[in-house]
Structure 1
Amino acid sequence: MTDIRTARVRAPELRGRGWLNTGGKDLTLADLRGKVTIVDFWTFCCINCLHVLDELRPLEEEFGDVLVVVGVHSPKFEHERDPDALAAAVERYGVAHPVLDDPDLQMWQQYAAKAWPTLSVIDPEGYVVASMAGEGHAEGLARLITELIETHEAKGTLHRGSGPYVPPAEPETALRFPGKAVALEGGGFLVTDSARHSVVELAADGETVVRRIGSGTRGRADGASAESSFSEPQGLCLLPRQTAEIAGYDLVVADTVNHLLRGVRLATGEVLTVAGTGRQWRSTVDNHPHDAVSIDLSSPWDVAWYDDRVIIAMAGIHQLWWFDPVKRTAGVYAGTTVEALRDGPLPDVWMAQPSGLSASADGRRLWVADSETSALRYVEDGALHTAVGQGLFDFGHVDGPAAEALLQHPLGVCALPDGSALVADTYNGAVRRFDPTADAVSTVADGLGEPSDVVLGPEGEVLVVESSAHRLTRLAPGALSAAGARTVTGQRHRTERPPTELAAGEVTLEIVFTPAPGQKLDDTFGPSTRLEVSASPPELLVEGAGSTTELTRRLVINPAVSAGVLQVVAQAATCDADVEHAACHLTRQDWGVPVRVTDAGTGRLPLILRGLDA
């Protein structure tokens, strides 16, 4: 494998549709000369990309006078190509560095990215010295940046000083990118004000602010209402009264970026941590109950009461988890961590960033908005089923029979008393309705600003959380009637990344991984590496599917299958070398590699986890 400290490749020039966070200036690599630059290829739907934004923040602070992060936004969904939607996402997620809009994935191809997220490190002389996919690279990046600083300070090619970031103007609205909402029994609503890191109580009109729980600044402090803090909270769940009395709090909050569940005593506004350590989950899956405050979580996005406990949409690892507020335990409820769409018994299913939950009135069914598969799914009788949705790469705004209908990255769902479900179809800017009796989908409302949740009021009225419009909106009376619904036949989309041409027959899959400076592979707790391979359609692979501990795999590609997607999951465990009480690190990435089988195709498929391909 190539030594990332000596290998250098001239970085391609940065070009795109436009720049954000630069005060209107178009940047070039010449403007970044003398700095260490991290180019972060991301898309704002991707939870792993959001994790990397959080990993980069401490590096930007620590190395602020020598490091420039440039986000290159290379979209997956059609909605993400909208420059206004991108600008909103940059504000929503607190991106404090320049962002290049790459709607046609030109930079993605120039830098040979194959996964969201991908990071490329450019040295002060303009050469790419490292590339890495996935998350979990913060420690290795810190070591590499330190080495580059030492090298280029000695050469006189490092320039300290401020970078090109220009912060945007601070907007003034009562809410800023609200996430989820619940109705209070006595009237009024609770809503997560995600960009202002707090929970807000609104009056029955859905507009008047009654109180704010949380200081409004990013943090994870417990305590009194004004002293406590959250980090981009999302889901809310009111506990049943008897459970709340035993647990000692009334409300569970999915404190997403803190990787925590928080409890809130509504009488006083006091906040306490009830599940999670604050560390992001980077471990293995088991089926055992764990002490809730001793287990790591990963971007809990929504919470709902179902099956006599709190179910958690664990978006960061594509699973559902459970939390028992009485026993104070937590564990895995459904899913394997594989990011894809597969139904079946709960332990075996595949999901992709579940982001919305709602239990049916009779408690039998739990609706799930599975955002990255653009799917509406449900749990019932110990199994997961798909009502609407076709997979990771198919989306659109199409009503009609459920088998043919399409959504686009839905983040919320609301069970209705008649057994149907409303879907916050986020990237279509719409509220959709699925009728299980007719097995059909219709559009209830559209023209909305990235709706992220739907909630029923105490009188049966429907309110929509319009996240990018920063408000709750009431649907017009009659919107749920047959006369109010519409059938939309919009465009069908499929994510089309440039396919890799592979030869039929034997192909060598090689995961490129070089430990960060000062680290080594760590087999203290078992094999240090793991590789899992599958294909869609499964017939694409004659041989090579399954899990092994080697990062190189012999595949046999079926000549009778012309195209498909290779699903590859790789991870590597490392630890600090030659130090006492060495810290351990886990690097992991999922790839969905579109391939086309041709006579001229290659017999080698390298995927970079960390390092440079020789």
Structure 2
Amino acid sequence: MTVTPRLPRVRASELTGRGWLNTGGVDLTLSGLRGKIVLLDFWTFCCINCLHVLDELRELEAQYRDVLVVIGVHSPKFVHEADPVALAAAVDRYEVHHPVLDDPNLTTWSAYTARAWPTLVVIDPEGYVVAQMAGEGHKNNVALLLRDLVAEHEAKGTLHRGDGPYVPPAPTSTTLRFPAKAITLPDGRLLVADAGHHSLAELEADGETLVRRIGSGRRGLLDGDAATAQFSEPNGLALVPDELRAAVGYDVLVADTVNHALRGVRLSDGAVTTVAGTGEQYMVGAADNVAARDGDESQADRSGLRYDGPALDVRLSSPWDVVWSPAASAFVVAMAGNHTLWAFDPVTGRITHLAGTMNEGLVDGPADEAWFAQTSGLAVDQDGRVWLADSEVSALRSLDLPGTPAAGDATQPVVGTSAGAGLFDFGHRDGPADQALLQHPLGVAVLPDGSIAIADTYNGAVRRHVPGRAADGSPAGPGEVTTLATGLAEPSDIVVLTEGDGVQLLVVESAAHRLTRVPLPATLAGQILDAGAHRTQRPVTDLAPGAVRLDVVFTPAAGQKYDDRYGPSTRLQVSSTPPELLLDGAGDDVPLERVLRLNPDVAEGVLHVTAHAASCDADPAIEYPACHLNAQDWGVPVRITAGAADVLTLPLHG
């Protein structure tokens, strides 16, 4: 029997936090779980990679239900995520069917030296840590490890089969359950992406009366009529332009997020059809993201960065929102799962990579150099500019397409930022837009005067951005951000309603399971608020000044080898905040280890590390080997301290 490589035998630290969910009020201990394989999933509910891991674990939890105990250790990034009520709602929203430890002070996170969301730690039935891995895409590796651990400990007599400690919460019943997005239909009714019910809800114009439901309510990917079709946490909705509906055969495009698909819905009878995606997740850099058809393979770039081809042959990654762009003559798709924007042409049925490098962060400029961070909301203004709620950098950003007024002479799309500071800076601060702060916004809408309403989700607020203008009306200056409404429960989208001279906002209050009307003054003016700035607090790593070896540990799972069929199988990118922290070692290269030179004159900062490693089945007899890509971004806060460690080890897989 081949055994998956293990870490040295280290006794697992006890699980310490504020409290437990999904245990029926019982506090769990590792000693009480002796005899079970325990998998700790360090997560935070804002993080799309963490949500991917929840989906990856569902099958393993079912397969090993009598020997495996998965425990979610919730170690929050944002202030809002440290609210126990918000955490309980998230555990319900994402159907987390295992115990969750509330770790708001990152106590257990620190005990296990976690450095990234998500991080998985496997503990054997005797209470020893046997593996730690960061990032998503480890389902195959974990499955092999579980197989080996079951065999080993069953033979030793140290494996105890039986039920685990999970206790489901009491069920609740509401018309909507964690609604995500909404649009106004041509007849004045509303269509809501009812994510928690895995369906679409058509409501009367009052926003409360249910007319019909499209989708069976069961999680799945199934086309068919309104009663039998299945979705999985649908989010974005957009109407197909009138002139195209007859040609494409549907009226509404749906971002079916967890199915990694786009679905078309015909309003006359509620019929649902998959129009983009294969139902499998697009993994950055994986060699099997596209399935060439009818000689179309020449269009594919197997590195995973670009593709222009039949939409049903391309794997998507958590599409979160969609909006029609007249300038692009296509739907713009916010591909939250890999931090990119794509364009989907419903007439030709082709999908095209539009912007983003698939690195997570806040970098403006030409589309092929820009970095996004889990873009979750889209809107198009009167000039054709695409506005973006870029949630993980808490930013309002924009995409100017060639041919639109703001693009000028640009020949490719250009990305800009109006408000937002980066991955770890957030808050609730109004004023000049370049100093304003948001907290994980999920939705945007264009107001009648051209200003932008923002669903500032984790601040429970609706904010307004007025772009700066010169006297002649041309763009100038940063503009201003104000607050239109507060006290909302995780607003995730906004529908603008105009009645005569008045304007109302219909806010999707996701955590309150409802749509809420917010009337606006005729001037659309908002308040100037300053509730302070925040920075994500994580344990600081002390490193010595001068030469420091960075070592990203990756070992292919048993039966696999590095996959170099389409070029190098690994990639390591390093940068820092501030840039002066790194005197040497920044940049992009192949090896997963590198010598950095840290500036002794910079007291502290953050090292930004991105690593990719691809592996495939090693057996040459396998005609179509299964391939897997492991990828992770780390932001490691460091403090320069004389005499401290001169090695930084990050486990991509171990």
Task: Name the TM-score, length of structure 2 as normaliser.
Answer: 0.91
Local SS of the residue matching 1:347: coil
Pick the aligned partner of 1:488 from 525, 529, 532. 529
Deviation for aligned residue 1:332: 1.1
Residues 241 and 549 (structure 1), Cα distance of their counterparts in 2 relative to 1, 3 Å cut: same
CA distance 1:248–1:151, shift in 2 (3 Å): same
Assess if the C-alpha contact under 8 Å between 2:332 and 2:344 holds in 1: yes
Counterpart for residue 448 of structure 2: 417
2 CA distance for matches of 1:114 and 1:231?
30
Count of matched residue positions in the alignment of Structure 1 and Structure 2: 607
1:553 offset after TM fit, Å? 0.8
Select 2:507's aligned residue among 439, 464, 470. Answer: 464
Q: Distance in 2 between matches of 1:331 and 1:278?
A: 17
Query: 2: distance between equivalents of 1:331 and 1:61?
Result: 36
- The residue number in structure 2 matching 1:328 is 349
Q: Which amino acid aligns with 2:466?
A: D
Find the counterpart in structure 2 of residue 339 from structure 1: 360
Q: Which residue of 2 aligns with 1:69?
A: 70
Q: What are the Cα deviations for residues 68-100 of structure 1, in whole angstroms up to 9, with x where unaligned? A: 100000000000000000000000000000000
In structure 2, the residue matched to 1:451 is: 491
Task: Note if 1:542 corresponds to 2:583.
Answer: yes
Q: Is 1:430 aligned to residue 461 of structure 2? A: yes
Task: Quickly say closer, same or farther: Cα 1:130–1:350, change in 2 above 3 A.
Answer: same
| Alpha-carbon separation, structure 2, partners of 1:208 and 1:530 | 52
1:133 matches 2:134: yes
* Contact kept in structure 2, 1:197 and 1:232, CA below 8 Å: yes
Structure 2 unmatched ranges of 5 or more: 286-302, 401-406, 408-412, 470-478
Instruction: Map residues 220-239 of structure 1 onto 2, 5 A cutoff.
Output: 220-239=221-240
Residues 326-380 of structure 1, C-alpha deviations (whole Å, 9 max, x = no match): 11111211110111111111111111110000001x2421110000111011112
Q: How big is each residue's C-alpha offset from its partner over 1:207-255, in whole Å with a ceiling of 9 and x where there is no partner?
A: 1111110000100000111110000010001010112221111111000
The one of 558, 561, 564 aligned to 1:523: 564
Q: How does 1:548-559 map to 2 (within 5 A)?
A: 548-559=589-600
Query: Paired residue for 1:560, among 590, 601, 605?
Result: 601
Alignment check: 8 A CA contact 1:143 1:518 kept: no
Matched residues in 1 for 2:497 and 2:650: separation? 49
* Residue 479 of structure 1: how far off its partner (Å): 7.8
Counterparts in 2 of 1:346-385, with a 5 A limit? 346-360=367-381, 362-380=382-400, 381=407, 382-385=413-416
Equivalents in 1 of 2:571, 2:224: separation in Å?
A: 42
By how many angstroms is 1:288 displaced?
4.0
Change (3 A) 1:576 1:488: same
Q: Which residue of 2 aligns with 1:386?
A: 417
3-state SS of 2:566 partner: coil
Letter in structure 2 aligned against 1:529: T
User: How do residues 138-217 of structure 1 correspond to structure 2 at under 5 angstroms?
Assistant: 138-217=139-218
**Once the 2 structures are TM-superposed, how far is the Cα of residue 519 of structure 1 from its aligned partner?**
2.1
Which residue is equivalent to 1:512? 553
Q: State the SS of the aligned residue for 2:378.
A: strand
Q: Please, which of 590, 608, 614 is the counterpart of residue 651 of structure 2?
A: 608
Using the TM superposition, give the Cα deviation of residue 539 of structure 1 relative to its aligned residue in structure 2, in angstroms.
2.2
SS at the partner of 1:235? strand
Q: Are the equivalent residues in 1 in contact too, given 2:7–2:131 (CA < 8 A)?
A: no
Distance, in Å, in 1 between the alignment partners of 2:19 and 2:137 is 29
Determine the C-alpha separation between the residues in 2 that align with 1:126 and 1:243. Answer: 60
Q: CA deviation at 1:488?
A: 1.1
In 2, distance between residues paired with 1:138 and 1:531? Answer: 22
Question: Any gaps of 5 or more consecutive residues in structure 1?
Answer: none
The residue that corresponds to 1:295 in the other structure is: 314
Match of 2:517 among 474, 481, 487: 474
Alignment-mate amino acid for residue 123 of structure 1? D
Q: How does 1:10-21 map to 2 (within 5 A)?
A: 10-21=11-22
Q: Name the structure 2 match of 1:241.
A: 242
Deviations 1:122-172 (A, max 9, x none): 000110000000000001101100100000000100011110000011111
Q: After superposition, what is the alpha-carbon deviation per residue over 1:451-501, rounded to whole angstroms, capped at 9, x for unaligned?
A: 00001136343100000000000003528633xx22111121111211212
The answer to whether the 8 A contact 2:7-2:129 is kept is: no
